[in-house]
Structure 1
Amino acid sequence: MRESLNGAVGDAGSSSRGSQSRRRVLQSIGGVSAAGLAGLAGCIGGGSSDPFVVQVTGGNYIDSYESEVFSAFEEERDVNVEVNQISDQFDGYNQIQSGQSDAHVTITSANTLYMGASEGVWEPIDTGELNNYDSLADTFKNPVYDAGDDVHGIPTVYGTIGMAYNRDELGELDSWEACWDEANAGGITMQGTDFVRVFTTALYLGMDPNEIGADGSYEDGIQRVWDSVREQKDLVSSYWSTGDEHVRMYAQNEAYVGEAWGGRIKAAIDDGHDHLDYVIPEEGAYGWSDNWAMVSGIDDDKRSTAMAFFDFLLTEDVLVPLAEALGYPPATDATSDVIENLGDYDPTGGERLTFLDPGYQEEHSDEWSEEWESIQS
């Protein structure tokens, strides 16, 4: 994830355009800040002197957007798209919040979308002005991670933290129960992040991870979660923290079942580790999405262009090849054979996924971190 949650950037391969556009020149100049790129724009020939500035993460993301979106949007709208490359979405958010970026729109995660909506960094989006907004699956319309009553983000693709398993050793699995099964002791691995431990365990116990103890008290509910985490700890071989680490464990049979990032496991299967499988368990799984937000305070002309950009992204002919290039399924009902074969693909349109409420996590963050540390000690 772009952050520690959403998996590794660039899981899927993508070919980029052969020509070196003005955008490519700008984003490839080393050691120049986003604000510095804006200053350089006037020194490089070609294109409008008043570009539409988009902010996106690097690697496969910038390549996929360049090859599948930006050029086509330039031609359709007769605008010059300038790209500011960011290292991750927190980096991008901090640049915008501190006035060090001239971006008009930016890619965000659940956390940065929530933060910006709460702090007035993002401009509210009138979805009635978007012809393609209704193509979004209901799951992604004004989700829990978009703070307030207004819409501030347009989801494009999504991913999951589901369950990977060794099909040759364990057969077909469809429940988180396998990760608490004593028969699998020593062959279980889970992500070693406090809130993920709370999140998946709550799902396993039939609770809403964003409203623990909703049918009783929070204190009773979270106690049940931590008791279950402690019970599981004796069965876990190790807790992983990176995409590379957990793929290696599954590929080399150091683990037979546990949490995983769908895109990474799909890549491992494609690389020949076909003893592996990946599933969104029947109890559900953690879901995340990429979302495009509009920076607050931009002028009417750039706001109009931003709305056209959002609508363009949700066009099936644009979103399908973009999703295929990124390696993550689209947040609409658009699909293809490639998309339906992606590890994260949920044929229910995300209905089996539960998305993080960053405000709820923040409220309990210190408490969860302290308890998780005590369990590990």
Structure 2
Amino acid sequence: MAADPDRVAETSESTSESVTDAAGSSVSRRRLLSATAVGSATALAGCTELLSSGSGDPLRVSVWSGNYADRFEEAVVPRYEDEFDAEIQIEPGWGDILTDIQTAADDDPPYDVTITEGNFYYYGRQDDLFHEIRTENVPNADELIDYYADFRTTEYGMPVDGAPCTIIHREEMESEIESWSDLSGSAVAESNGVGVDTGFWWYPMYAAAVGMDDAELGEEMHDADHHDDVLETVRNWPIESWAESGQDVWQAFQDDIIDVAQWYYEQTAYDIDDYEGLTHTMPEQTTGYLNHWCVVKGTDKRDRAEEFINFLMDAEVQTAWSEEMPTLFCNENTEYAGDLADDLPSDSEEASNIAFPDWEFLAEHSGDLSDEFSAMRNS
């Protein structure tokens, strides 16, 4: 998601404000939809028995663009199409995903299923863009790691995958970089500089809050009285690259502009060996994102959409998926490929060491925080 190497991320203002404006409109397109559920209320004895198999038009699935889409198409699409004799049409995108749904005709949404991270999931719910998930159609929800099932509502979307933030750095700095607090230390201050994600300001800020350790695991971000301190911490990092993509980060290292970067494990672990002299350190406590997968209101394939989400939640699917993508997964029975389990959480205790942004709180303050972050970047 935020780490997609090929996306052109919108600025924090355009990402947040455009969605907020739509969510705050007096009469939203989606709020005019009938409360009557689209499609049948067929319960599943087992999702593989759903009538969707081999039927009709392809299921249109919105995913993050770039190598997320590439790896998703390699690891997930063939397995689903073989198992269900049904076609998937992948729709890569980023900042336009919610806007595309909002501006489409009521009965003709651009996607049947969409991926969302915390920001999109929050604002999409506010604008009534998603169907409620009928839990009888997603039995794999019973295998969710408790933390992922509890920390954010699953009423309109199921947690499937995500990524913690990791610290990329020169190999010679390895002994100096262990936690987010080290970005405020002397080794980084004396380096060429730091790269951070500019499209999604909340992740650098949460990383700074985790490193500050003035409150429990980034809770500084959930207390407006601490926001100035968090912003000041980021200002004091020697930031030399405001990256809009993973490619920006790798290029900044190759051009000797930076020696350290805040980025995303899912876009780092399988790619970093392509770059000489670089390594990465996963802090014991960090921040990150979690994708909730949602059924888009207006679809005429609600049953198939829930079948697909249930498929994504299957432990065997996630195990195979991890061979192609170093992604955090939410099924407690997933077995990570290689040594991914050394870094990625496999239970609630480990998952609780990731400070996921709380948009129920952040929404009220996002305008001010976005403005401050933009001013910092522009200066």
Provide the TM-score with structure 1 as the length reference: 0.72
List per-residue Cα deviations over 1:242-301 (Å, max 9, x = no partner): 32222233456543334223244434532252x43322323x2221133321123545xx
**Equivalent in the alignment of 1:202:** 209
- Mapping of 1:171-320 within 5 angstroms? 171=175, 173-187=177-191, 188-191=193-196, 193=198, 194-206=201-213, 207=215, 212=220, 218-219=224-225, 221-230=226-235, 232-233=236-237, 235-251=238-254, 253-273=256-276, 275-282=277-284, 284-298=285-299, 302-320=301-319
**Equivalent in the alignment of 1:104:** 112
**Equivalent in the alignment of 1:338:** 338
Query: What code does the residue aligned with 2:145 have?
Result: A
Q: Which runs of 5 or more structure 2 residues have no equivalent in the other structure?
A: 8-53
What SS does the corresponding residue of 2:302 show, helix, strand or coil? Answer: helix
**Equivalent in the alignment of 2:125:** 117
**Equivalent in the alignment of 2:5:** 8
CA distance in 2: counterparts of 1:60 and 1:108, whole angstroms: 17
**Equivalent in the alignment of 1:132:** 140
Of the structure 1 ranges 287-296 and 244-253, higher mean CA displacement relative to structure 2 is found in 244-253
**Equivalent in the alignment of 2:364:** 363
What SS does the corresponding residue of 1:247 show, helix, strand or coil? Answer: helix
Task: Compute the displacement of 1:57 (Å).
Answer: 4.6
Task: Compute the displacement of 1:179 (Å).
Answer: 0.8
What SS does the corresponding residue of 1:307 show, helix, strand or coil? Answer: helix
What SS does the corresponding residue of 1:212 show, helix, strand or coil? Answer: helix
Matched, 1:154 2:153: no
Q: Find the partner of 1:81 among 60, 81, 87.
A: 87
What SS does the corresponding residue of 1:141 show, helix, strand or coil? Answer: helix
CA distance in 1: counterparts of 2:149 and 2:331, whole angstroms: 10
CA RMSD of aligned residues (A): 3.3
- Structure 1 residues 142 and 116: CA distance shift in structure 2, 3 A: farther
CA distance in 2: counterparts of 1:211 and 1:341, whole angstroms: 26
Task: Compute the displacement of 1:122 (Å).
Answer: 0.7
What SS does the corresponding residue of 2:269 show, helix, strand or coil? Answer: helix
- Determine if contact 1:285/1:353 at 8 Å carries over to the other structure: yes
Task: Compute the displacement of 1:189 (Å).
Answer: 0.3
- Structure 1 residues 54 and 227: CA distance shift in structure 2, 3 A: closer
Task: Compute the displacement of 1:375 (Å).
Answer: 4.4
Query: What code does the residue aligned with 2:288 have?
Result: G
List per-residue Cα deviations over 1:205-224 (Å, max 9, x = no partner): 2236875376xx633x1232
Query: What code does the residue aligned with 2:80 have?
Result: F
Task: Compute the displacement of 1:133 (Å).
Answer: 1.3
Structure 1 vs Structure 2: percent identity of aligned residues?
A: 24
Query: What code does the residue aligned with 1:276 have?
Result: L
CA distance in 2: counterparts of 1:341 and 1:179, whole angstroms: 25
Task: Compute the displacement of 1:336 (Å).
Answer: 3.3
- Determine if contact 1:329/1:339 at 8 Å carries over to the other structure: no
**Equivalent in the alignment of 1:55:** 62
CA distance in 1: counterparts of 2:68 and 2:375, whole angstroms: 38
**Equivalent in the alignment of 1:326:** 325
- Determine if contact 1:52/1:104 at 8 Å carries over to the other structure: yes
